[in-house]
Amino acid sequence: MKFSGKQIIFISFMLFSMFFGAGNLIFPPFLGQAAGTHLWTALAGFIVSAVGLPILGVIAVAKAGSFNVLNQRVHPFFAFIFPFFIYIAIGPGLAIPRAGSLAFEMGVAPFLPKDLVGSPLSLLIYSIVFFGLVTWLCMYPSKLIDLFGKLLTPILLALIAIIFVKGLMDPIGLFQAPKDNYVTNPIFQGVLDGYLTMDALAALAFGIVISNTLKSQGVLEQKRRSLYMMYAGLGAGLLLTVIYLILSYLGAASASLGKAENGAQILSNVMTHLFGQSGTLILGLVFTLACFCVSIGLVTSCSQFFASALPKIEYKTWVIILAVLSTAIANLGLTQILQISVPILGMIYPIAIVVIFLGLIDDFIKRYPQIYISVVSFTALFSILETINKSFLVNKWGGVLEILPFYSEGIGWIIPALVGLVVGFLVGMLRRKSLDA
Q: Are residues 213 and 328 in the same domain?
A: yes
Residue 299 is assigned to a structural domain of this protein: yes
At 393 the pLDDT is 76
Q: What percent of the chain lies above the pLDDT cut of 90?
A: 20
* Residue type at 48 in one-letter notation: V
Residue 353 is assigned to a structural domain of this protein: no
At 333 the pLDDT is 59
Q: Are residues 184 and 280 in the same domain?
A: yes
The count of domains in the chain is 2
At 1 the pLDDT is 62
The CATH code of the domain that includes 124 is: 1.10.4160.10
**The last residue of a domain, from among 309, 339, 369:** 339
**Is pLDDT above 90 for 62?**
no
Domain that holds residue 366: 361-437
The string of pLDDT tens digits covering residues 170-179 is 878 788 888 8
Q: Are residues 290 and 398 in the same domain?
A: no
Q: Are residues 285 and 225 in the same domain?
A: yes
The string of pLDDT tens digits covering residues 103-121 is 888 888 888 887 777 777 8
The string of pLDDT tens digits covering residues 398-409 is 777 778 887 776
Residue 352 is assigned to a structural domain of this protein: no
Q: Are residues 148 and 240 in the same domain?
A: yes
> 3-state SS of the chain?
CCCCHHHHHHHHHHHHHHHCCHHHHHHHHHHHHHHHHHHHHHHHHHHHHHHHHHHHHHHHHHHHCCHHHHHHCCCHHHHHHHHHHHHHHHCCCCHHHHHHHHHHHHHCHHHCCHHHHCCHHHHHHHHHHHHHHHHHHHCCHHHHHHHHHHHHHHHHHHHHHHHHHHHHHCCCCCCCCCCCHHHHCHHHHHHHHHHCCCHHHHHHHHHHHHHHHHHHCCCCCHHHHHHHHHHHHHHHHHHHHHHHHHHHHHHHCCHHHCCCCCHHHHHHHHHHHHHCCHHHHHHHHHHHHHHHHHHHHHHHHHHHHHHHHCCCCCHHHHHHHHHHHHHHHHCCCHHHHHHHHHHHHHHHHHHHHHHHHHHHCHHHHCCCCHHHHHHHHHHHHHHHHHHHHHHCCCCCCHHHHCCCCCCCCCCCCHHHHHHHHHHHHHHHHHHHHHHHC
**The last residue of a domain, from among 339, 371, 400:** 339
Residue 345 is assigned to a structural domain of this protein: no
Higher per-residue confidence, 131 vs 343: 131
Q: Are residues 308 and 410 in the same domain?
A: no
At 130 the pLDDT is 94
Q: Are residues 223 and 277 in the same domain?
A: yes
Q: Are residues 160 and 221 in the same domain?
A: yes
Between CA 145 and CA 215 the distance in angstroms is 12
Q: Are residues 127 and 263 in the same domain?
A: yes
Burial class of residue 128 in the structure, from the number of CB atoms within 10 Å of its CB (0-12 exposed, 13-18 middle, 19+ buried):
middle
Q: Are residues 299 and 239 in the same domain?
A: yes
The string of pLDDT tens digits covering residues 126-163 is 999 999 999 998 888 777 767 777 777 888 888 888 88
Q: Are residues 335 and 372 in the same domain?
A: no
Residue 356 is assigned to a structural domain of this protein: no
Q: Are residues 271 and 398 in the same domain?
A: no
**The last residue of a domain, from among 285, 309, 339:** 339
Residue 244 is assigned to a structural domain of this protein: yes
At 342 the pLDDT is 64
Residue 347 is assigned to a structural domain of this protein: no
Higher per-residue confidence, 287 vs 211: 287
